[in-house]
Amino acid sequence: MVHTHGVRTERTLVNVESVSTSRDNVDMENVRTTGQTVAELVARAGLSMRAFAKACGYATASGVQRYMDPEFDANLKPDVAVKMVEALKGKGEPPIAAEEVYALVGMPATNAAPVHYEGASMDRMRQDVPILGTALGADRIEDDLAIEQTHLFTDEIIGYAKRPVILDGRADVYGIYVQGTSMEPRYEDGSIVFAETKRPARIGDSVIVYLRKNGDAHEADDGESARTVLVKRLVKKSGSFVELEQYNPRFTFRLDGKEVLKMHRVLTMDDLLS
């Protein structure tokens, strides 16, 4: 106890070595990387890596191997998370919930709820549709005409767009900014389009076509990486080729089916408003 100018104070001696910080209180053993969490969910579901890959729609175990690597700690891409949910949901003890997988995307699994009003103002929309990074790529030359290509960075979410109410609960939807003028007047440079990964594209739909990284299905390819993408209109498709159209300059061309990794349908205004 100390008396200073008539003021009575008390001092308490503290052993600083015994004081723990909030960081010290974190149980580091419970911190899991994305890869560790995926591996634990797969083990809980009682699946081998090969069985998990098959359930996700991959031909070989290498399709999911990197996502189960303990060193992998990036967010899952939305379309990958959808595949994993379909493979894991309801399996294991306790049953695996979709939210456990969607948590690895960095966005909510669903915001579906009854809507008790007619129409929806912009301030009622959730801003959670991921927008993937894009950049204008080098032109592809076919018959002396330039076909605009876009670099798509599937691991880079550059922002989130407002979610139209009709898309509530849809984790298979993402957005990109259109690069270039090849699809004007339908899509102007810098405009945003929404694409879906589940519903197959129909003839006449606008599509985002992912090209294989190495251009040939027989070359080494992880089944996910895209060299570039094309935002075009689907004219025709078969087991051996895909025929596409761009508007500016107007031109129809074909791609060898081996070069196409996957194709996502671009949502129309009718899709978003109906």
DSSP per-residue codes, 74-142 = SPPPHHHHHHHHHHHTT-TTTTPPHHHHHTTTTS-S-------SSS--GGGS-EEEEEEEEEE-PPEEE
State residue 221's pLDDT score.
56
Give the tokens for residue 66: 């990197």
Please list the pLDDT of the chain residue by residue as tens digits (274 residues). Answer: 545 444 454 544 545 444 444 434 445 456 789 999 999 999 999 999 989 988 888 878 888 898 999 899 998 888 788 889 989 999 999 999 988 998 898 754 445 444 444 444 445 678 889 999 888 888 888 888 889 999 888 878 888 998 888 888 888 999 999 999 999 999 999 999 999 999 999 999 999 999 987 655 455 556 555 668 999 999 999 989 999 999 998 999 999 998 998 999 999 988 887 6
Residue span(s) of the chain under CATH 2.10.109.10 come to 126-273
Distance of alpha carbon 151 from alpha carbon 154, whole angstroms: 9
Tell me what pLDDT residue 18 has.
Answer: 45
The distance of Cα 18 from the centroid of its chain, to the nearest Å, equals 46
3-state class (DSSP) for residue 79: helix
Compute, in degrees rounded to 10, the torsion defined by CA atoms 205, 109, 169, 190.
-40
* Per-residue CA distances from 48 to 40, 69, 88, 147 (Å): 11, 14, 12, 43
Residue intervals of the chain classified under CATH 1.10.260.40 are: 31-102
Q: What is this structure's pTM? A: 0.55
Domain 31-102: assigned CATH number:
1.10.260.40
CATH class of domain segment(s) 126-273: mainly beta
Whether 130 and 175 have beta carbons less than 8 Å apart is answered as yes
